Structure formats: structure tokens, C-alpha cells
Amino acid sequence: MKFVDEVKIKVKGGNGGSGMCSFRREKYVPKGGPDGGDGGDGGSVYLVADSELNTLVDFRFVRFYGAENGTKGQPRNCTGAKGKDLDLPVPIGTRIINVETDEVIGDLKQAGERVLVAKGGFHGLGNTRFKSSINRAPRQTSHGSEGDFRELKLELNVLADVGLLGLPNAGKSTFIRSVSSAKPKVADYPFTTLIPNLGVVAPLPYKSFVIADIPGVIEGAAEGAGLGVRFLKHLSRTRLLLHLVDLNPFDESDPLQNIKTIANELKKYSVEYEKPLVDKEVWLVFNKCDLLEKDEMEIIIKEILEDLDWQGPHYVISGMDGTGTKQLCFDILENIEAENESAEESGQVDGELYTENKE
């Protein structure tokens, strides 16, 4: 199935049904008075988070969705039927944006969450409503109002605890294959990964976290180069970023300069309704250590850390043979658990990402 993470659709709530103009007419009741009923309310359109979906591809083929209209009022003070609501299932992690105002209407983070995106119209009033002491036989009714109409932009951001960041061919896909059951494509050319991949890592029984592998970021990504904006947005919900650095780039580029290139793109990329990527915690992970002699590798890493004045954690691994990956995964799990405990103590429990399997 094609992975689609951004679409535009139009939605409309159902129109309210008009009120009925009717008078009671029965044998021996020649002037029974008004008995026209109200119309029915129009149906509303909702977006519902569905855990079974992982792409917005269905919205590529149908772009307009409308709820059912309310029906007209009936004689004998019978109200018209209400229009049925329309529930549109979308993947968890979908953000809903009003195209006209650029306002974020909703952010679906948990299965079953439901957001109203187009309210149905209000029903019209029947002539019974206009009866009064001076107007015994009103012929006045009102029409139902129209339902809301909106053009929406749906953005799917994958939900993960950890995001992998790096230039093309830094070894991100190899790493995620090494530590999880995910099997993204791996090859010796740039941009092997074209869509985000998720992998579940379980360093300990019953405890796991999710890693997101996104396509490689290149210089100018924050301005859209190489579809960089669409790739970077998938890191916006992660708690921790792992910056994978190729110690032996195939193009013989400078690893230090490669790190600065990615860091610069993080600074430039920002979305007003998300925490800036540059403010997220970043760990440096030096990959492909198996391709260099130990002494040469240590010299390169030392020079990089000194030049960057790096104060955060750093690791040396090989995604190919698994060197150093177990310790890295244990430390990530500890970091997430500590963050969860801190959130619980402060009363800001989110709980949307961390998974604890107790089956």
C-alpha cells in the first residue's frame, strides 16, 4: 500500500430540514389549529482515529465528504428525521488543519479519539412554533440552516519515542533492522528509504519503545529540498533524536561537516504548533565503527567531540554486526522511563508513546 502522509479534503455537514406548514384536519374538528412539525438537524462530519490504519491513501481518491441532510418536518407535530453523522477513519497521529485559517482543529493521538470537523445545520421550525394568542393560524415556517463547509489539510506524523536522524546512507535503516523486527530496504546508494519506517525495540521483557526511521535529510531540507520538510515533520512528536553519523562516508565527506549540516537544518526547521526540533534532546551515535581501525576511529571521534564542544551522550556502534547497539537501547529505555516518572510526578502524563506489554 502506498504511504501517503498529507492530503487535502473538503467536508460538509448536512443541511437542517425545513419546518412543515400544516393544520389539523379531522372529522368534527374543522379548525384544529397548526400541527406542522420541525425539520431534522443535519448530520455532522467527524474524524476518528483508527489503529488499523497507517496511511491517508484512501483520501487521495475521494476528496469530498458530506453528512446526510435532515428531513422536512411532518404533519401532526412530527419532527423530521435527523441526518446521520459521518465518521471518517484516519490513522493515529493525524493532525487536522483548516486550510482557510491555518488553524489546527484537532490532533488525534489515541485510538478512538473523535474530532468534529463540520457541524450539521440546525433544523427549521414548523408553523406550530409560531402560534400565539393573536395568531391562531400561522402559516410561517423557517428553513433549516446549512451545514458547515470546510477545506481541511490532513497531516500524518508517525508516533514514535525515538527518531533517527542523519544524512542518506548514514546507516539508519541498518540500525533499525539490527535492533527491531522492522525490515526496511537496505542498499548501498542514497535515499534507499523513501517512506518512514517504525520499529519496536524491546531491550527487556515486557518493556519496549518505538523508533522511527525517516528518509535521509540533506542540506536545504528545512526549505523543502529533497522533500525535507515532509520528512522532518515525522520527528516532531518524538521524545529523543538519535543523530547517526557515518564515520566512513562512501563519498569521502567530512563526518564533522555532516553533523553540522544536519544541526543547521534542525535549527531552521520549525512549525508553530510543534516543539522546535532544535530544542529536543539529541544523542550522537557514531555508526560503522567496524569499517575503521580502533585507533583511527578514536582520533576521529575525539576531534569531532572537541570541535563541537559536545556535552550530551555519544555512542559508538555498528548497525551491521550489532556492536554497541544493546547498550544504546538499554540507555534509551532508561531515559524514557525516567521521563515518564518525571511526567507522573509533575502531573503531566501523556502516555501516548511509551508501551509496556503486560500480556
Query: Is 165's pLDDT higher than 70?
Result: yes
Q: To 10 degrees, the CA torsion angle through 300, 303, 308, 311?
A: 90
CATH code of the domain occupying 6-156:
2.70.210.12
Query: Is 65's pLDDT higher than 80?
Result: yes
Query: Is 277's pLDDT higher than 50?
Result: yes
pLDDT for position 153: 93
Query: Is 266's pLDDT higher than 80?
Result: no
Provide the pLDDT confidence category of residue 184 given band limits of 50, 70 and 90: low
Query: Is 183's pLDDT higher than 80?
Result: no
E strand or H helix at 199, and its extent? strand 197-204
User: Exposure of 265 by Cβ count < 10 A (0-12 exposed, 13-18 middle, 19+ buried)?
Assistant: buried
Backbone torsion region of residue 176, taken as left when φ is above 0, otherwise alpha when ψ lies between -120 and 50, otherwise beta = alpha
Provide the pLDDT confidence category of residue 161 given band limits of 50, 70 and 90: confident
pLDDT for position 117: 95
- C-alpha distances out from residue 228 to 169, 195, 233, Å: 15, 12, 9
> d(Cα 83, Cα 44) in Å, to the nearest integer?
8
> What mean pLDDT is predicted for residues 236-253?
83
> What mean pLDDT is predicted for residues 194-217?
78
pLDDT for position 217: 62
Q: Are 39 and 21 in contact (CB under 8 A)?
A: no
> d(Cα 17, Cα 79) in Å, to the nearest integer?
9
Which set of grid coordinates corresponds to residue 174?
541498518
Q: What percent of the chain is modeled with pLDDT above 90?
A: 36
- Please report, for the chain, the start and end positions of each structural domain, with discontinuous segments joined by +: 6-156, 162-356
CATH code of the domain occupying 162-356:
3.40.50.300
Supply the angle between the helices 325-346 and 172-179 in degrees, to the nearest 10: 80
pTM: 0.70
Query: Is 348's pLDDT higher than 60?
Result: no
